[in-house]
Amino acid sequence: MNNTDFKIKYYDLDNKSDRLEYGIDGGAMLAPKLKLKYELYYSDTDVTGNDEKDLESLKLKLIYFPIEGKLKGGQAYRLAIGAEWIKDLGDTDKGIGTGSDQIGPFVGLAVGIRPGTMLISLLQHNESYDNGDISQTSLRLIALQNFPNDVWGKMDLKIPYDWENDEIPSLVEFQLGKSFTKSFGMYIDLQSGIGSDKPYDFATGIGLRFNY
């Protein structure tokens, strides 16, 4: 099912500043085995000591599903390959954006380990291709769980390795949502940085989901 999310998220940064992020996040099937995901973000932050506002980034991800089937135990699986393009729209003088555009090829595997439960593993490498110095390889593990009464849960663990700074700015996200109709739902997010290289302390947000 195609969807578009409208969300707001508050970030508590580790330097006693904060950031409020407004986002549009969605996905659409272009063909039976081809999906497009899109994200657009706008930020309001005081990380520089002043209140700054600007567009942050545009992300487009093309996903192709070349193989799907069932394992010997009967679990359904699907392989995904693709690439993500990240266009930086911010201004680093305002503390918004990364200052570089990136390309990120990836490969992923989704397995339905039991009815209502899916595990997704993803390996992605992001590299800046203009004036930036971003070189990061990320391992990502996502667990999706359906509950009664059209409630869903999500856990998203991201473990990236930053080759430029020799850091591992890991984070984990938990999401709990509910579908009120087939075309509309709401969810809350809670994120936390992990380890000494964490990108921020914590973040919390709310989102509206429209399915079509």
Q: What confidence category does residue 165 fall into, taking pLDDT thresholds of 50, 70 and 90?
A: very high
Residue 96's domain is classified under what CATH number? 2.40.230.10
Domain count, the chain: 1
Task: Calculate the average pLDDT of the chain.
Answer: 96
> What is the three-state SS of the chain?
CCEEEEEEEEEECCCCCEEEEEEEEEEEEEECCEEEEEEEEEEEECCCCCCEEEEEEEEEEEEEEEEEEECCCCCEEEEEEEEEEEEECCCHHHCCCCCCCEEEEEEEEEEEEECCEEEEEEEEEEEECCCCCCEEEEEEEEEEEEECCCEEEEEEEEEEEECCCCECCEEEEEEEEEEEECCEEEEEEEEEEECCCCCCCEEEEEEEEEEC
pLDDT at 14: 73
pLDDT at 106: 98
What is the average per-residue pLDDT within 58-74? 95
What is the average per-residue pLDDT within 103-110? 98
Q: What confidence category does residue 58 fall into, taking pLDDT thresholds of 50, 70 and 90?
A: very high
What confidence tens digit (pLDDT) does each residue in 134-146 have?
999 999 999 999 9
Q: What confidence category does residue 168 fall into, taking pLDDT thresholds of 50, 70 and 90?
A: very high
pLDDT above 80 for 209? yes
10: containing domain:
3-211
What confidence tens digit (pLDDT) does each residue in 71-106 have?
988 899 999 999 999 999 999 999 999 999 999 999
Kindly report the number of other CB atoms within 10 A of residue 136's CB atom: 20
